[in-house]
Amino acid sequence: MQSTEMKSTQLRVSEMAENLIGSEIIKLAGEIREKIAKGEKIHNFTIGDFNPKIFPIPTALRDAIIEAYQNDETNYPEANGMAALRKSVAAFTNERMGLNYSENEFLISGGARPIIYAVYRTLIDPNDKVVFPVPSWNNNHYSHLTSSQCVMIETTPENYFMPSADELRPHIRDAAMIALCSPLNPTGTVFSKEGLESICDLILEENARRGPEQKPLYLMYDQIYWVLTYGSTKHYDPVSLRPEMRNYTIFFDGISKSFAATGVRVGWAFGPLRVIDKMKSILSHVGAWSPKAEQLATAKFLNDKKAVDQYLSSFMSELNDRLNGFYDVFSKLKSEGFKVNAIAPQAAIYLTVQFDLVGMKTPAGEVLDSMAKVNRYILDEAKIALVPFYAFGASEDSTWFRLSVGTAQRSDIDAVYVALKSALSKLS
């Protein structure tokens, strides 16, 4: 047995697979599960998901899924998605965003991840450059999967961690794609109108310079959280601001976040027909379809405007209350002299929080001389689990963290204040 195990560890695999880095968030989640299994009470705000007991999917969507299975809608769906769903999401996008795309310019997939992979595979050749800001979700991994070169732009809290045109400009001349996300995972912040306009103008200028003979500079625009914007926050998109961007922008979206349906696996892309058709061809070989029953159910639900509006009204109110509640916790702790901070909520299910604790000493005499140790202290002492921004590609000395409210109870807000105040008070 030992000999067999030894031989298996020496089996050669591809260079890509050998050097693929696992998800830092999944690794952290595993550590938290171990603590919970040992009986520890952990306030776990790491996962970008929802507790279905707190945030169930819309009743109308659930009932439509059940009905579709009862009607035996269990065979293969159309390769680019059921026509009923493509028509439905085209109408939904037009009505809610003012973007007029035909149903044939949409591609349905099993959530957004296959869509992202298809975008990379369609637009990126080996060693092409992909430019994206950090912190951001998983672009580094998709770049590795497609043997492209990452150009990571570290953003700042002064601009709510959104990249500016000036930050992108030095890197676009030989780039193949810019990957942007708004509202941004992990920060829950959004582009300003002026900020996104400047980036669109930058891309249009670069494509005018390249001319029709060269592959253009494309923009992958992740807006999967766009429905979840709060207060005076407004979501902007490239094509509404600059119609000429239509030739270069590939959007992706879905029901995972906007309707708490992460496990239902219905996502979509839309953009230039030629690009969408090539993405369809790639995914037809991968077989990354959303199940037919879920597709038909989603089409039926999105067509029911009253059900959609009723769900979003309650859902967004509950999320906003939690985001503001945790923001108030950090604001109060900051006013009490603790070295913490937070950015006021704008969108999505995330709050951006800061623990500026490097150099402080624990009751046991340990110096918190790295952000990894700060993260460990907050987890072990306060029993609060957050995701550090360095897990999203930011520098290892970034003092900022993502707090996700998708699994949070209202009662967690006061409990977190008490736990954090106690843990922070013990530092010197």
- What CATH number does residue 245 fall under? 3.40.640.10
Q: How many Cβ atoms sit within 10 Å of the Cβ of residue 187?
A: 27
Considering the domain architecture, whether residues 300 and 314 belong to the same structural domain is answered as: no
By the 8 A CB rule, do 50 and 406 touch? yes
- What CATH number does residue 412 fall under? 3.90.1150.10
- Please give the residue range of the domain that contains residue 355: 2-55+309-425
pLDDT beyond 90 at 343: yes
> Percent of the chain scored above 90 by pLDDT?
88
Q: How many Cβ atoms sit within 10 Å of the Cβ of residue 43?
A: 20
Q: Which band of pLDDT confidence, cut at 50, 70 and 90, is reported for residue 8?
A: low
By the 8 A CB rule, do 107 and 101 touch? no
In the chain, the amino acid numbered 369 is D
User: What is the pTM (predicted TM-score) of this model?
Assistant: 0.93
Q: Which band of pLDDT confidence, cut at 50, 70 and 90, is reported for residue 32?
A: confident
HEC-encoded secondary structure of 216-259: CCEEEEECCCCCCECCCCCCCCHHHHCHHHHHCEEEEEECCCCC
Give dist(CA 329, CA 342) in Å, integer. 9
What is the pLDDT, as a whole number, of residue 4?
Answer: 56
By the 8 A CB rule, do 376 and 402 touch? no
Considering the domain architecture, whether residues 294 and 335 belong to the same structural domain is answered as: no
DSSP 213: T
What is the pLDDT, as a whole number, of residue 36?
Answer: 84
By the 8 A CB rule, do 116 and 144 touch? no
What is the pLDDT, as a whole number, of residue 24?
Answer: 72
What is the pLDDT, as a whole number, of residue 5?
Answer: 56
What is the pLDDT, as a whole number, of residue 119?
Answer: 97
By the 8 A CB rule, do 388 and 352 touch? no
Single out the residue in 281, 304, 327 at which a domain terminates: 304
Give dist(CA 345, CA 342) in Å, integer. 9
Considering the domain architecture, whether residues 163 and 279 belong to the same structural domain is answered as: yes
Per the structure, the count of domains in the chain is 2
Measure CA 397 to chain center: 22
Considering the domain architecture, whether residues 15 and 48 belong to the same structural domain is answered as: yes
Which residues are within 8 A (CB) of 101 and not within 5 positions of it... i.e. 6 or more apart? 90, 93, 94, 270, 271
| 258-316: pLDDT as tens digits | 999 999 999 999 999 999 999 999 999 999 999 999 999 999 999 999 999 999 999 99
Considering the domain architecture, whether residues 144 and 30 belong to the same structural domain is answered as: no
Angle in degrees, CA 105, 165, 163, rounded to 5:
85
Single out the residue in 252, 283, 304 at which a domain terminates: 304
By the 8 A CB rule, do 250 and 218 touch? yes
By the 8 A CB rule, do 189 and 161 touch? yes
Considering the domain architecture, whether residues 231 and 135 belong to the same structural domain is answered as: yes
